[in-house]
């Protein structure tokens, strides 16, 4: 017994619209403990929609549709579903009246095309839409098969799901268990390397463990099925502790944590402050830090020293060293970190200098070469060389450089 999400709309296939509905529904199904193994996106084409239906009916007991419920000719979801099951459409007077009233409240008159939205398959129940004009349906055309349809407009679908669909599904016996997940976050280790370390955990039945990777970060999702979040947490907790112990310092947080928030929390606990000096990242390090609420308690500010003249005048970088080794170097990264620490009078200074591309690289200093400088208590001064050559994407190099700089500071704070 499982659900399948079917999103209808050619605009989704073309990439014109981000499919946030599928993500929302997947999360909601997990909260109800309803497994789902397939998501399908299909364009506004009745024949292809019927093909999707034929497949979905054989592998799922709940089919959840979004999109294709409007008044225009390409809104074909309801009539295609009815045609597939050989059931006539019946106009519902209460839907016509509801749409007319909504238009009247806006000072407009309902158009003839809106009557199309009042047609639902014979025997289906109306899934009311308080937020828009397109209602959905709740229908059981066969034994052990339930169909729910929603408009594609996200806020309409969210409201209809919470107010009507969830109580209905619970009344049908769903929702007695939930699927609860913890997302463990790691930085500084490759997905393959982490997966190899924790491979035995991938065979667990409950909780389950699955790896993910995204823009330099590796994640392990630990999911448990239980009758409550409390019990699910009890199932997850010992496995989480083992995974964290295996990963060591590569583990940095869970769920909504970010490297910036974790570093900020540590700085707050120590009563210490941070300033940053950036070249190739152009302010993204400061932006990431200030995206965390309360960051003004520990982050004092930064200097974007894109040009060498700014490095010299504002950060005190030695011009002779710039001539000798260049701005992208271990020496300059250290001087930038020390310079911003001294000028802003902070406990820590963190710097980034590198070549983000797409141009500017040489054989000895290719695109993706980045140096991170760190200055701190007790005259600590370090630098770290990274070669993100394989990325060949300016925005990704900048993002990973920023996160890696925060990770270096995090590890130093932890080691104390």
Express each pLDDT in 246-289 by its tens digit.
Answer: 999 999 999 999 999 999 999 999 999 999 999 999 999 999 99
Quote the pLDDT of residue 111.
83
Report the Cα 71 to chain-centroid distance in Å: 32
The contacts of residue 211 (CB under 8 Å, 6+ apart) are 191, 194, 195, 198, 202, 218, 219, 220, 221
Distance of alpha carbon 75 from alpha carbon 173, whole angstroms = 32
Count CA atoms closer than 13 A to 206's CA, side-chain side: 12
Distance CA 385, CA 369 (A): 7
Distance CA 140, CA 172 (A): 12
CB atoms within 10 A of CB 397: 25
What's CA 6's distance to the chain center, in Å? Answer: 20
With CA atoms as reference, report the closest residue to 361 among 391, 382, 384: 391
Q: In what helix (H) or strand (E) does residue 139 lie, and over which residues does it extend?
A: strand 136-142
- DSSP, collapsed to helix, strand or coil, labels residue 211 as strand
Regions in the chain scoring below 50 on pLDDT: none
CATH topology of domain 178-254: Alpha-Beta Plaits (3.30.70)
Q: According to the model, what pLDDT value does residue 188 have?
A: 96
CATH 3.90.950.20 in the chain is located at 259-415
User: What does pTM read for this prediction?
Assistant: 0.81
d(CA 44, CA 156): 20
pLDDT at 25: 97
259-415, superfamily in CATH?
CinA-like (3.90.950.20)
- Give how far the C-alpha of residue 39 lies from the chain's centroid of Cα atoms, to the nearest Å: 17
> Where in 189-339 does DSSP place strands (E)?
208-214, 217-226, 251-254, 274-278, 299-304
Q: Which pLDDT score is estimated for 319?
A: 98
At 10 the pLDDT is 94
CA–CA distance, 102 with 133 (Å, rounded to integer)? 7
* CATH top-level class of 3-171: alpha beta
For the residues of 339-369, what is the DSSP string, one character each? HHHHHHT-SEEEEEEE--SSS---SSS-TTE
- Of the CA atoms within 13 Å of residue 133, those in its CB half-sphere come to 22
* pLDDT score of 175: 83
Number of helices followed by number of strands (H, E) in the chain = 15, 17
Query: Residues 102, 38: contact at Cβ < 8 Å?
Result: no
Q: What are phi and psi of 388, to 5 degrees?
A: -95, 40
What pLDDT, on a 0 to 100 scale, did the predictor assign at position 176? 86
Domain ranges in the chain with CATH number 3.40.980.10: 3-171
Measured between alpha carbons, how far is residue 300 from residues 25, 65, 294, 334 in Å? Answer: 41, 49, 12, 19
pLDDT of residue 114: 85
Written as six digits, the tokens of 89 are 């459409």
CA distance 354 to 327: 8
pLDDT in tens, 369-406: 999 999 999 999 999 999 998 777 999 999 999 999 99
Specify whether the CB–CB gap between 367 and 382 falls below 8 A: no
């Amino acid at each position: 017994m499982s659900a399948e999400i079917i999103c209808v709309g050619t605009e989704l296939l073309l990439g014109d619209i981000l499919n946030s509905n599928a993500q929302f529904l997947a999360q909601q199904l997990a909260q109800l403990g309803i497994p789902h193994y397939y998501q399908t996106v299909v364009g506004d084409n009745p024949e292809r929609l019927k093909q999707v239906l034929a497949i979905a009916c054989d592998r799922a007991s709940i089919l959840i549709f979004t999109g294709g419920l409007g008044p225009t000719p390409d809104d074909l979801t309801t009539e295609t579903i009815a045609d597939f099951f050989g059931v006539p459409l019946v106009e519902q007077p209460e839907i016509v009246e509801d749409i007319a009233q909504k238009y009247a409240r806006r000072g407009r008159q309902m158009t003839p095309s809106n009557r199309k939205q009042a047609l639902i398959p014979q025997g289906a129940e109306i899934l009311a839409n308080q937020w828009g004009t397109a209602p959905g349906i709740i229908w059981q055309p066969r034994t052990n098969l339930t169909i729910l349809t929603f408009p594609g407009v996200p806020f309409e679908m969210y409201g209809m799901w919470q107010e009507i669909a969830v109580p209905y599904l619970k009344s049908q016996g769903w929702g007695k268990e939930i699927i609860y997940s913890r997302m463990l976050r790691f930085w500084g280790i490759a997905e393959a390397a982490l997966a190899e370390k924790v491979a035995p955990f991938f065979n667990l039945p409950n909780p389950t463990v699955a790896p993910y990777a995204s823009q330099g970060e590796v994640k392990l999702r630990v999911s448990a099925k239980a009758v409550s979040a409390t019990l699910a947490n009890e199932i997850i907790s010992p496995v989480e502790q083992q995974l964290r112990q295996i990963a060591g310092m590569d583990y940095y947080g869970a769920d909504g944590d970010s490297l910036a928030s974790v570093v900020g929390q540590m700085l707050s606990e120590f009563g210490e402050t941070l300033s940053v000096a950036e070249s190739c990242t152009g302010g993204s390090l400061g932006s990431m830090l200030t995206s965390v609420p309360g960051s003004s308690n520990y982050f004092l500010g930064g200097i974007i020293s894109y040009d060498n003249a700014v490095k010299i005048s504002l950060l005190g970088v030695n011009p002779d060293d710039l001539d000798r080794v260049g701005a992208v170097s271990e020496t300059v990264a250290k001087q930038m970190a020390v310079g911003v620490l001294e000028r802003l009078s902070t406990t820590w200074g963190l710097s980034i200098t590198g070549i983000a591309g797409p141009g500017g690289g040489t054989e000895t200093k290719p695109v993706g070469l980045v140096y991170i400088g760190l200055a701190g208590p007790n005259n600590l001064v370090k630098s770290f060389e990274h070669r993100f050559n394989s990325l060949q994407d300016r925005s990704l190099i900048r993002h990973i450089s920023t996160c890696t700089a925060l990770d270096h500071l995090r590890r130093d704070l932890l080691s104390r």
